[in-house]
C-alpha cells in the first residue's frame, strides 16, 4: 500500500473519531418545507422547434419557481429535497456559516434534462457562497465547490473566481489530489485550471445513497465521501476587482444542473478546529 493510501486511511479514521458526543448538530432541512433556504433559477432552457433547447436572455429569479425545480418529497420512506434539474440554479441557505462541519446525504433520481440529457448526472455542493446570484454562468454564486457528479463526487471546482491551493499531480490530462504532492493553485484563471480530481473514489453506485461531509475551518477545507477523506484544500480565497481576498465564510448552495437528485439529513455544527493538523 502506498504512503498516500495509508495517509488517507489514517486521516479518514481520525476524522471519524473526532466527533464528540456533546457537539450539537443544527438541522438545515426541517423535513417539511424549504424554510431557511432561498431558491434561484437562472436563464431558462426553452425548447425549440427542432427538439433542442436555447437559453433565454433573462433569469427566472430569486424565490420564483413556477416549475417546482425545488420541492420536498418522500423518498425511501423519508422526507427529502428534490431538485429536478429541469432548470439550472441553486438552493442556498439564508444564513452564512464559517468554521463548521457539514453533513448530508444525496441520491440520484432518474430524470435528465436538455442540454445535459446525454451527460453524467450533475449537481454540486457550493460552500463559502456569496455575492450576486448568477455570478457563474448566470446560475450560481461565487464559491468553492465540492463536486456532486456521477463518478466525480469530491472533486474541486472553483466557481466564479474561487481559488484553492491543493496538493496534486498531473495524470494524463488531469490533476489528481495527492497529499504528498506540491500544492498547486486551482482557479478559472490559473495555469492548471479550476478542477482538481478527488482521490480515492469513494462514491456508491448510481441509485444508492451517498454521505458527503465537509469540514471548513479558517481557510482550510476537507472533502469526505462516504466516510473517506478524498481531498484537503488550503488557502481559500477569491479574485475580486481589487485582487485576491480571503474566503472563509458564506452560504451553502446546492446546484440544479440538468439531473434529478435528492438530498436529505442536511445538518451542520460549529467546530473549534480541524480533527487533526493538516
Residue 11 confidence (pLDDT) = 59
Helix (H, G, I), strand (E, B) or coil at 80: strand
CATH number for the domain formed by residue range(s) 3-270: 2.60.120.560
Judge whether residue 224 has pLDDT over 80.
Answer: yes
pLDDT at residue 56, rounded to an integer: 92
At 13, is the pLDDT very low, low, confident or very high (cuts 50, 70, 90)? low
3-state class (DSSP) for residue 17: helix
At residue 22, the pLDDT reads 47
Nearest one of 160, 179, 170, 173 to 234, comparing CA atoms: 179
Using 50, 70 and 90 to split pLDDT, how confident is the model at 198? very high
- What per-residue confidence (pLDDT) applies to 265? 98
pLDDT for residue 183 is more than 60: yes
Average pLDDT of the segment spanning 57-83: 97
Whether the pLDDT of residue 154 is over 90: the answer is yes
What does the pLDDT read at residue 53?
Answer: 87
User: When comparing pLDDT for 137 and 47, which is higher?
Assistant: 137
Average predicted confidence (pLDDT) for the chain: 92
Beta strands in the chain (DSSP E): 26-27, 37-47, 53-62, 70-75, 78-83, 89-93, 100-112, 122-130, 142-149, 156-159, 162-171, 174-177, 183-186, 195-196, 210-217, 220-225, 228-240, 243-246, 251-256, 259-270
Q: Which residue has the higher pLDDT, 7 or 235?
A: 235
pLDDT at 10: 53
Q: What is the mean pLDDT of residues 80-89?
A: 98
For the stretch 105-135, pLDDT in tens is: 999 999 999 999 999 999 999 999 999 999 9
Reported as a pLDDT band with limits 50, 70 and 90, residue 12 is low
> Residue 79: what pLDDT?
98
pLDDT of residue 1: 61
**pLDDT tops 50 at residue 16:** yes
Amino acid at each position: 500500500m502506498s504512503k498516500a493510501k495509508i495517509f488517507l486511511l489514517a486521516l479518514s479514521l481520525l476524522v471519524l473519531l473526532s466527533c464528540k458526543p456533546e457537539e450539537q448538530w443544527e438541522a438545515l432541512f426541517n423535513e417539511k418545507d424549504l424554510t431557511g433556504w432561498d431558491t434561484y433559477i437562472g436563464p431558462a432552457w426553452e425548447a425549440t422547434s427542432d427538439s433542442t433547447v436555447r437559453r433565454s436572455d433573462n433569469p427566472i429569479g430569486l424565490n420564483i419557481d413556477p416549475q417546482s425545480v425545488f420541492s420536498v418529497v418522500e423518498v425511501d420512506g423519508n422526507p427529502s429535497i428534490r431538485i429536478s434539474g429541469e432548470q439550472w440554479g441553486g438552493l442556498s441557505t439564508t444564513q452564512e456559516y464559517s468554521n463548521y462541519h457539514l453533513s448530508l446525504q444525496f441520491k440520484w433520481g432518474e430524470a435528465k434534462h436538455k442540454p445535459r440529457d446525454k451527460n453524467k448526472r450533475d449537481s454540486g455542493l457550493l460552500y463559502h457562497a456569496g455575492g450576486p446570484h448568477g455570478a457563474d454562468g448566470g446560475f450560481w454564486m461565487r464559491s468553492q465547490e465540492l463536486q456532486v457528479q456521477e463518478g466525480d463526487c469530491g472533486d474541486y471546482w472553483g466557481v466564479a473566481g474561487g481559488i484553492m491551493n491543493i496538493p496534486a499531480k498531473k495524470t494524463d490530462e488531469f490533476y489528481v489530489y495527492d497529499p504528498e504532492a506540491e500544492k498547486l493553485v486551482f482557479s478559472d484563471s490559473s495555469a492548471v485550471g479550476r478542477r482538481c480530481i478527488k482521490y480515492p473514489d469513494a462514491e456508491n453506485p448510481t441509485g444508492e445513497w451517498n454521505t458527503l461531509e465537509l469540514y471548513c475551518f479558517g481557510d482550510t477545507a476537507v472533502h469526505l465521501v462516504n466516510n473517506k477523506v478524498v481531498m484537503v484544500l488550503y488557502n481559500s480565497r477569491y479574485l475580486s476587482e481589487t485582487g485576491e481576498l480571503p474566503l472563509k465564510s458564506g452560504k451553502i448552495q446546492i446546484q440544479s444542473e440538468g439531473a434529478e437528485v435528492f438530498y436529505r439529513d442536511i445538518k451542520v455544527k460549529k467546530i473549534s478546529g480541524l480533527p487533526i493538523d493538516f
